[in-house]
Structure 1
Amino acid sequence: MKKFKKIGIILLFVLVIGGCAGAFYYFSVNANLLKTDNAKVTAKMYTVTGTSSSKLLEWDVSKGDFVVKNQVLGRQEILPNITSPINGTVVKSDAIVGQLAGPTTQLAVIADTDDMYIGVNIEETEIAKVAVGQKVDVTIDAYGKRVFSGRVTEIDTVTQTYFSNGMTSFSTSGDYTKVKQLIPVKVVIDNPDELPLMYGMNCEVAIHLH
């Protein structure tokens, strides 16, 4: 009986030590990771506007079309040719033949398909931990548990909402409410199998802090 009791104590001791070691490993690993699911597949977007304040006579592209740099997209009465600034995909087309279009009139938006990346939004209280060059593990919802290796390549110098007046919030009484800001971070991943990526695909990222 004493022998079984002794074996039981030893097994309990081993389980406790093993559990502590596992917990230590889990927390030490996760302490060196910054995780978020506020991330999507994206690309730099370019806005196409009119070349002059005149009538749009012709428009030759639609949403989803692939275009090349300097390709003629449409024509106006004055300074006629409207061209693409990059190689990319038309993700928005607002042009209507016959409308007046000036240099501030958005006619289309073209995404840079040669430079697709993961756009990650990091809370301002965590951004000091992030640096260009850090390794990143990325999972894309469309591809299940597959992990893509990546690197932080760029950290924006302004918050996500800076130019949309989203920095602060005021109630009707004029009371100030501080709103936690998000900093956009660019992560480029390795995609050796060239799996198709679509703008807006949801992702989860884990940034290695050390």
Structure 2
Amino acid sequence: MANKLGDRMKSVLSTRRGKIIFWVACVLILGSMALGINFWYQSYKYVSTSNASIQAPLIPVGTLTPCQIISLDADYGDYVEKGQRIAVVGAPRSDNPTNMQGLKEIPIGRTNIESPVNGYIAAVWTYPGAVISSGQPIVTVYDISETWVIANITETDIYHIKPGQEVKINIDSLGGVTLKGHVEGIAAATAGKFSLLPQNNTTANFIKVAQVVPVKITVENPGNYILIPGTSAEVKIVIR
């Protein structure tokens, strides 16, 4: 019986169709093994997540006194340098001498509103002729001198993460360009604790949900690439 089965297998493999089936099966098996080995290697060497985004300081630029917008000299996406005029406003002088970054006390007549940093105009909140109140922003500038990534790492992986570890950052808005970075810090609380509605279970019907911990990643030498705050990223933190 065994001899007949063996002879039959040899007969099948000797045909052209049988050889094709044999080699296809071998390729599928080897491919599955390669995928399994690669998955194990990636899990062993990296902690990865696509739950990450670009962050940067967003600075509202306005005045400490009510005023009228006479002209706007910058628009969405414009690059501005520190000290460059963004708007011209007119208002009476305030008795409050307090001055803060991005907020300027307005004297009598017309006054230039200047950018406090080098960066890009992220938002425009008003228009020429409008009257704005004290502290209301005219534009928002994001500071390009400091950008970072916030990656939300699951609580089951966070014990692998340490400051200084190398990170590979894939930026979606740059068409998949990969930049280098390093872990700068790890939050002392989960992301859920900073939400408006923290997840606190008060019933007996508890369902365990994996929490995530924010990890701050510094981007090293972004070069001429413009990193847009809020855009998505995928990170791979080298842990071994």
- With normalisation by structure 1, the TM-score equals 0.67
Say if 1:40 and 1:67 are closer, same or farther in 2 by CA, change over 3 A.
same
If you compute each CA radius of gyration, which structure gives the higher value, 1 or 2? 2
In the other structure, the counterpart of 2:75 is 62
8 A contact 1:117–1:189 mirrored in 2? no
Task: Give the 3-state SS of the residue equivalent to 2:74 in structure 1.
Answer: coil
In the other structure, the counterpart of 1:206 is 236
- Give 1:162 deviation, angstroms: 5.0
8 A contact 1:68–1:84 mirrored in 2? yes
Letter in 2 for 1:63: Y
In the other structure, the counterpart of 1:9 is none
Q: Distance in 2 between matches of 1:156 and 1:48?
A: 29
- Give 1:61 deviation, angstroms: 2.3
Say if 1:57 and 1:22 are closer, same or farther in 2 by CA, change over 3 A.
closer
Aligned length in residues? 192
8 A contact 1:133–1:152 mirrored in 2? yes
Q: Distance in 2 between matches of 1:83 and 1:159?
A: 38
In the other structure, the counterpart of 1:99 is 131
Structure 1 residue 187 corresponds to structure 2 residue 218 = yes
Say if 1:100 and 1:131 are closer, same or farther in 2 by CA, change over 3 A.
same
In the other structure, the counterpart of 2:46 is 33
Task: Give the 3-state SS of the residue equivalent to 1:115 in structure 2.
Answer: coil
Say if 1:30 and 1:50 are closer, same or farther in 2 by CA, change over 3 A.
same
Q: Distance in 1 between matches of 2:36 and 2:76?
A: 51
Q: Give structure 2 stretches of 5+ with no counterpart.
A: 1-28, 94-104
Say if 1:29 and 1:57 are closer, same or farther in 2 by CA, change over 3 A.
closer
Say if 1:20 and 1:170 are closer, same or farther in 2 by CA, change over 3 A.
closer
- Give 1:34 deviation, angstroms: 1.0
In the other structure, the counterpart of 2:100 is none
How many percent of aligned residue pairs carry the same amino acid?
23
Deviations 1:96-144 (A, max 9, x none): 33323212x2332111122233332233554343222111122233434
8 A contact 2:122–2:142 mirrored in 1? yes
Q: Give structure 1 stretches of 5+ with no counterpart.
A: 1-15
8 A contact 1:32–1:209 mirrored in 2? yes
In the other structure, the counterpart of 2:97 is none
Runs (4+) of structure 1 exceeding 4 A deviation are 19-26, 156-164, 175-179
Task: Give the 3-state SS of the residue equivalent to 2:83 in structure 1.
Answer: coil
Letter in 2 for 1:49: G
Structure 1 residue 114 corresponds to structure 2 residue 126 = no
- Give 1:85 deviation, angstroms: 2.2
